[in-house]
Structure 1
Amino acid sequence: MVFELIETDITRLAVDAIVNAANESLLGGGGVDGAIHRAAGAALLAACRALPEVAPGIRCPTGEARITEGFALPARFVIHTVGPIWHGGGHAESERLAACYGNVLKLAKAHGLTSIAFPAISAGIYGYPADAAARIAVSTLRSAAWRPERVIFCTFGPSMTRVYEPLL
Protein backbone atom coordinates (compact mmCIF):
# COMPACT_ATOMS: atom_id res chain seq x y z
CA MET A 1 0.00 0.00 0.00
CA VAL A 2 1.15 3.50 -0.79
CA PHE A 3 0.41 6.17 1.76
CA GLU A 4 -0.43 9.74 0.77
CA LEU A 5 1.13 12.83 2.28
CA ILE A 6 -0.90 16.01 1.99
CA GLU A 7 -0.03 19.39 3.46
CA THR A 8 -3.38 21.03 4.16
CA ASP A 9 -6.01 21.75 6.76
CA ILE A 10 -7.37 18.31 7.75
CA THR A 11 -10.86 19.77 8.19
CA ARG A 12 -11.09 20.28 4.42
CA LEU A 13 -10.54 16.67 3.41
CA ALA A 14 -13.48 14.75 1.95
CA VAL A 15 -12.67 11.29 3.32
CA ASP A 16 -14.62 8.72 5.29
CA ALA A 17 -12.93 9.84 8.51
CA ILE A 18 -10.44 12.31 9.82
CA VAL A 19 -8.58 11.60 13.03
CA ASN A 20 -8.75 14.11 15.82
CA ALA A 21 -5.71 14.36 18.10
CA ALA A 22 -7.96 15.03 21.08
CA ASN A 23 -7.67 15.40 24.82
CA GLU A 24 -9.27 12.93 27.24
CA SER A 25 -12.41 15.02 27.74
CA LEU A 26 -13.14 15.12 23.97
CA LEU A 27 -14.63 18.58 24.50
CA GLY A 28 -12.25 20.50 22.25
CA GLY A 29 -8.94 22.14 22.85
CA GLY A 30 -6.12 23.70 20.90
CA GLY A 31 -4.33 22.70 17.72
CA VAL A 32 -6.01 20.21 15.40
CA ASP A 33 -8.59 19.38 18.09
CA GLY A 34 -9.84 22.97 18.25
CA ALA A 35 -9.79 23.31 14.47
CA ILE A 36 -11.90 20.17 14.04
CA HIS A 37 -14.42 21.27 16.65
CA ARG A 38 -14.74 24.73 15.08
CA ALA A 39 -15.17 23.35 11.57
CA ALA A 40 -17.60 20.59 12.54
CA GLY A 41 -19.85 22.94 14.51
CA ALA A 42 -21.68 22.70 17.81
CA ALA A 43 -23.17 19.30 16.97
CA LEU A 44 -19.71 17.70 17.35
CA LEU A 45 -19.37 19.06 20.87
CA ALA A 46 -22.84 17.76 21.71
CA ALA A 47 -21.97 14.32 20.31
CA CYS A 48 -18.76 14.23 22.33
CA ARG A 49 -20.60 15.28 25.49
CA ALA A 50 -22.99 12.38 24.89
CA LEU A 51 -20.15 9.84 24.98
CA PRO A 52 -19.95 8.19 28.40
CA GLU A 53 -17.21 9.16 30.82
CA VAL A 54 -15.03 6.23 31.89
CA ALA A 55 -13.70 8.32 34.80
CA PRO A 56 -14.56 11.85 35.91
CA GLY A 57 -13.89 14.16 32.94
CA ILE A 58 -12.45 11.34 30.79
CA ARG A 59 -14.35 10.07 27.77
CA CYS A 60 -11.33 8.65 25.96
CA PRO A 61 -8.23 7.54 27.87
CA THR A 62 -4.81 7.96 26.29
CA GLY A 63 -4.22 5.40 23.54
CA GLU A 64 -7.90 4.67 22.97
CA ALA A 65 -10.27 5.98 20.28
CA ARG A 66 -13.92 7.02 19.91
CA ILE A 67 -15.96 7.79 16.81
CA THR A 68 -18.58 10.45 16.08
CA GLU A 69 -20.25 11.81 12.98
CA GLY A 70 -18.42 14.53 11.06
CA PHE A 71 -21.38 16.93 11.08
CA ALA A 72 -20.40 20.10 9.12
CA LEU A 73 -17.09 18.59 7.98
CA PRO A 74 -16.66 17.08 4.51
CA ALA A 75 -15.52 13.89 6.32
CA ARG A 76 -18.34 11.53 7.28
CA PHE A 77 -16.80 10.69 10.66
CA VAL A 78 -14.30 11.95 13.19
CA ILE A 79 -12.27 9.35 15.04
CA HIS A 80 -10.98 10.91 18.24
CA THR A 81 -7.82 9.52 19.82
CA VAL A 82 -5.74 10.76 22.69
CA GLY A 83 -2.02 10.62 22.19
CA PRO A 84 0.47 10.58 25.03
CA ILE A 85 2.08 13.69 26.43
CA TRP A 86 5.85 13.47 25.98
CA HIS A 87 7.69 12.98 29.28
CA GLY A 88 11.08 12.05 27.88
CA GLY A 89 10.28 8.60 26.50
CA GLY A 90 10.42 6.58 29.69
CA HIS A 91 6.70 6.42 30.40
CA ALA A 92 5.48 4.03 27.68
CA GLU A 93 4.84 6.94 25.32
CA SER A 94 5.76 4.96 22.19
CA GLU A 95 3.45 2.07 23.07
CA ARG A 96 0.60 4.44 23.87
CA LEU A 97 1.10 6.36 20.62
CA ALA A 98 1.14 3.13 18.59
CA ALA A 99 -2.07 2.12 20.41
CA CYS A 100 -3.72 5.31 19.11
CA TYR A 101 -3.13 4.26 15.52
CA GLY A 102 -4.15 0.66 16.16
CA ASN A 103 -7.38 1.65 17.90
CA VAL A 104 -8.27 4.11 15.15
CA LEU A 105 -7.87 1.29 12.62
CA LYS A 106 -10.13 -0.99 14.69
CA LEU A 107 -12.91 1.61 14.62
CA ALA A 108 -12.37 2.29 10.92
CA LYS A 109 -12.64 -1.41 10.10
CA ALA A 110 -15.72 -1.86 12.32
CA HIS A 111 -17.45 1.00 10.47
CA GLY A 112 -16.41 -0.11 6.98
CA LEU A 113 -14.36 3.01 6.27
CA THR A 114 -12.19 3.06 3.16
CA SER A 115 -10.37 6.40 3.52
CA ILE A 116 -8.88 8.04 6.58
CA ALA A 117 -6.66 11.05 7.25
CA PHE A 118 -4.30 11.25 10.23
CA PRO A 119 -2.68 14.34 11.72
CA ALA A 120 0.66 14.07 13.53
CA ILE A 121 -0.77 12.74 16.81
CA SER A 122 1.03 14.05 19.92
CA ALA A 123 3.61 15.97 17.87
CA GLY A 124 2.07 19.38 18.61
CA ILE A 125 1.25 20.75 22.04
CA TYR A 126 1.80 17.31 23.62
CA GLY A 127 5.50 17.73 22.81
CA TYR A 128 6.27 14.34 21.27
CA PRO A 129 9.38 14.70 19.06
CA ALA A 130 8.04 14.98 15.51
CA ASP A 131 10.48 12.55 13.92
CA ALA A 132 9.81 9.85 16.52
CA ALA A 133 6.03 10.37 16.34
CA ALA A 134 6.09 10.12 12.54
CA ARG A 135 8.19 6.93 12.62
CA ILE A 136 5.69 5.32 15.01
CA ALA A 137 2.75 6.43 12.87
CA VAL A 138 4.18 5.07 9.62
CA SER A 139 5.56 1.83 11.07
CA THR A 140 2.36 1.06 13.00
CA LEU A 141 0.18 1.59 9.94
CA ARG A 142 2.55 -0.30 7.63
CA SER A 143 2.54 -3.34 9.91
CA ALA A 144 -1.22 -3.33 10.57
CA ALA A 145 -3.11 -6.46 9.56
CA TRP A 146 -5.89 -4.28 8.11
CA ARG A 147 -5.82 -0.79 6.63
CA PRO A 148 -8.38 1.21 4.70
CA GLU A 149 -7.81 1.56 0.97
CA ARG A 150 -6.65 5.16 1.35
CA VAL A 151 -4.46 6.39 4.22
CA ILE A 152 -3.46 10.04 4.28
CA PHE A 153 -0.91 11.65 6.54
CA CYS A 154 -2.10 15.23 6.73
CA THR A 155 0.45 17.83 7.77
CA PHE A 156 -0.11 21.46 8.56
CA GLY A 157 3.07 23.18 7.47
CA PRO A 158 6.27 22.43 5.57
CA SER A 159 8.36 21.48 8.61
CA MET A 160 6.11 18.50 9.47
CA THR A 161 5.82 17.57 5.80
CA ARG A 162 9.62 17.31 5.66
CA VAL A 163 9.54 14.96 8.65
CA TYR A 164 7.18 12.52 6.89
CA GLU A 165 8.65 12.67 3.36
CA PRO A 166 11.65 10.36 3.90
CA LEU A 167 9.49 7.84 5.76
CA LEU A 168 7.05 7.50 2.90
Structure 2
Amino acid sequence: MPIPKDRRIPKRKVAGFCPERAYTFDTEKETQGVWFDIDVTTGAKVKVARFGSSRYYQVYNQVLQRIAPNPQSLTKEQQEKAVRKVVDETVAECVLLDWSNFVKLDGTELPYSKEEAIKLLSLDSFFDVILSFAQQSEQYHKYSVEEAVKN
Protein backbone atom coordinates (compact mmCIF):
# COMPACT_ATOMS: atom_id res chain seq x y z
CA MET A 1 0.00 0.00 0.00
CA PRO A 2 1.49 3.37 -1.01
CA ILE A 3 2.14 6.05 1.60
CA PRO A 4 -0.30 8.98 1.38
CA LYS A 5 1.26 12.19 0.04
CA ASP A 6 0.68 14.09 3.28
CA ARG A 7 2.65 11.39 5.21
CA ARG A 8 5.69 11.27 2.94
CA ILE A 9 8.94 12.73 4.15
CA PRO A 10 9.83 15.64 1.90
CA LYS A 11 13.16 15.51 0.10
CA ARG A 12 15.62 17.69 1.92
CA LYS A 13 17.65 20.23 -0.02
CA VAL A 14 21.31 20.24 0.86
CA ALA A 15 23.82 22.98 0.30
CA GLY A 16 26.41 21.99 -2.27
CA PHE A 17 27.68 22.33 -5.78
CA CYS A 18 25.32 21.56 -8.64
CA PRO A 19 27.23 20.98 -11.91
CA GLU A 20 24.05 21.19 -13.98
CA ARG A 21 23.40 24.70 -12.68
CA ALA A 22 27.05 25.75 -12.88
CA TYR A 23 27.60 24.58 -16.46
CA THR A 24 24.28 25.20 -18.16
CA PHE A 25 24.44 28.14 -20.54
CA ASP A 26 21.64 30.51 -21.47
CA THR A 27 21.34 29.99 -25.23
CA GLU A 28 19.96 33.48 -25.77
CA LYS A 29 22.86 35.13 -23.91
CA GLU A 30 25.35 32.94 -25.77
CA THR A 31 24.10 33.95 -29.21
CA GLN A 32 22.46 37.36 -28.66
CA GLY A 33 25.27 38.66 -26.46
CA VAL A 34 25.77 40.41 -23.15
CA TRP A 35 26.71 44.07 -22.65
CA PHE A 36 30.15 44.79 -21.16
CA ASP A 37 31.61 48.14 -20.10
CA ILE A 38 34.71 48.72 -22.19
CA ASP A 39 35.39 52.27 -20.97
CA VAL A 40 33.61 53.36 -17.81
CA THR A 41 34.61 57.02 -18.07
CA THR A 42 32.83 57.50 -21.41
CA GLY A 43 30.11 54.90 -20.89
CA ALA A 44 31.30 52.94 -23.91
CA LYS A 45 29.93 49.40 -24.03
CA VAL A 46 30.21 46.38 -26.28
CA LYS A 47 27.69 43.63 -26.81
CA VAL A 48 29.54 40.34 -26.97
CA ALA A 49 28.32 36.79 -27.59
CA ARG A 50 30.08 33.78 -26.11
CA PHE A 51 33.16 32.59 -27.96
CA GLY A 52 33.08 29.03 -29.23
CA SER A 53 29.39 28.58 -29.88
CA SER A 54 28.33 26.17 -32.60
CA ARG A 55 27.35 29.17 -34.74
CA TYR A 56 30.88 30.55 -34.40
CA TYR A 57 32.38 27.38 -35.86
CA GLN A 58 29.82 27.23 -38.67
CA VAL A 59 30.57 30.81 -39.70
CA TYR A 60 34.32 30.25 -39.28
CA ASN A 61 34.21 27.33 -41.72
CA GLN A 62 32.11 29.33 -44.22
CA VAL A 63 34.47 32.31 -44.09
CA LEU A 64 37.49 30.01 -44.32
CA GLN A 65 36.10 28.42 -47.48
CA ARG A 66 35.53 31.85 -48.99
CA ILE A 67 38.92 33.34 -48.06
CA ALA A 68 41.19 30.31 -48.33
CA PRO A 69 39.46 27.43 -50.12
CA ASN A 70 42.81 25.73 -50.70
CA PRO A 71 45.08 26.67 -47.76
CA GLN A 72 47.76 24.13 -48.77
CA SER A 73 48.58 26.26 -51.81
CA LEU A 74 49.40 29.29 -49.65
CA THR A 75 52.77 30.16 -48.18
CA LYS A 76 53.09 30.10 -44.40
CA GLU A 77 52.86 33.91 -44.29
CA GLN A 78 49.76 33.90 -46.52
CA GLN A 79 48.18 31.22 -44.30
CA GLU A 80 48.80 33.31 -41.17
CA LYS A 81 47.23 36.39 -42.78
CA ALA A 82 44.29 34.35 -44.04
CA VAL A 83 43.65 32.80 -40.63
CA ARG A 84 43.71 36.22 -38.94
CA LYS A 85 41.30 37.60 -41.54
CA VAL A 86 38.99 34.60 -41.07
CA VAL A 87 39.05 34.99 -37.29
CA ASP A 88 38.43 38.76 -37.45
CA GLU A 89 35.48 38.31 -39.80
CA THR A 90 34.04 35.48 -37.73
CA VAL A 91 34.37 37.42 -34.48
CA ALA A 92 32.74 40.45 -36.14
CA GLU A 93 29.87 38.24 -37.33
CA CYS A 94 29.31 36.09 -34.24
CA VAL A 95 30.98 37.63 -31.18
CA LEU A 96 31.20 41.45 -31.34
CA LEU A 97 27.54 42.18 -32.04
CA ASP A 98 27.13 45.87 -31.17
CA TRP A 99 28.60 48.83 -29.32
CA SER A 100 27.54 52.15 -27.91
CA ASN A 101 29.34 55.45 -27.28
CA PHE A 102 32.13 54.73 -29.77
CA VAL A 103 33.65 57.67 -31.65
CA LYS A 104 36.13 58.09 -34.49
CA LEU A 105 39.48 59.88 -34.08
CA ASP A 106 37.82 63.16 -35.13
CA GLY A 107 35.24 62.80 -32.34
CA THR A 108 32.25 61.96 -34.54
CA GLU A 109 30.01 59.04 -33.68
CA LEU A 110 31.11 55.59 -34.84
CA PRO A 111 27.96 53.55 -35.43
CA TYR A 112 28.27 49.78 -35.23
CA SER A 113 28.64 47.86 -38.46
CA LYS A 114 30.28 44.56 -39.26
CA GLU A 115 32.79 46.36 -41.50
CA GLU A 116 33.80 48.78 -38.72
CA ALA A 117 34.00 45.86 -36.28
CA ILE A 118 36.43 44.06 -38.61
CA LYS A 119 38.59 47.20 -38.79
CA LEU A 120 38.69 47.56 -35.00
CA LEU A 121 39.35 43.85 -34.47
CA SER A 122 42.52 44.22 -36.52
CA LEU A 123 43.87 46.18 -33.51
CA ASP A 124 45.43 43.41 -31.43
CA SER A 125 44.67 45.00 -28.04
CA PHE A 126 41.02 45.60 -28.94
CA PHE A 127 40.71 42.06 -30.25
CA ASP A 128 42.18 40.73 -26.97
CA VAL A 129 39.67 42.69 -24.87
CA ILE A 130 36.70 41.46 -26.92
CA LEU A 131 37.95 37.88 -26.73
CA SER A 132 38.41 38.15 -22.95
CA PHE A 133 34.78 39.28 -22.60
CA ALA A 134 33.60 36.46 -24.88
CA GLN A 135 35.41 33.90 -22.74
CA GLN A 136 33.93 35.01 -19.41
CA SER A 137 31.68 31.97 -19.32
CA GLU A 138 30.00 32.95 -16.02
CA GLN A 139 28.36 35.87 -17.87
CA TYR A 140 26.56 33.42 -20.14
CA HIS A 141 25.37 30.92 -17.52
CA LYS A 142 21.70 30.15 -17.24
CA TYR A 143 21.92 30.27 -13.46
CA SER A 144 23.93 32.67 -11.33
CA VAL A 145 26.99 31.35 -9.50
CA GLU A 146 25.18 31.79 -6.18
CA GLU A 147 22.30 29.60 -7.36
CA ALA A 148 24.71 26.93 -8.54
CA VAL A 149 26.42 26.74 -5.16
CA LYS A 150 23.40 26.95 -2.84
CA ASN A 151 21.23 24.45 -4.72
**TM-score tier after normalising by the smaller chain length:** under 0.3
Instruction: With the length of structure 2 as denominator, give the TM-score of the two structures.
Output: 0.25
* TM-score, with length taken from structure 1: 0.24
Bigger relative contact order, structure 1 or 2 (CA pairs below 8 A, ≥6 apart): 2
Greater share of residues in strand: 1
* Greater gyration radius: 2
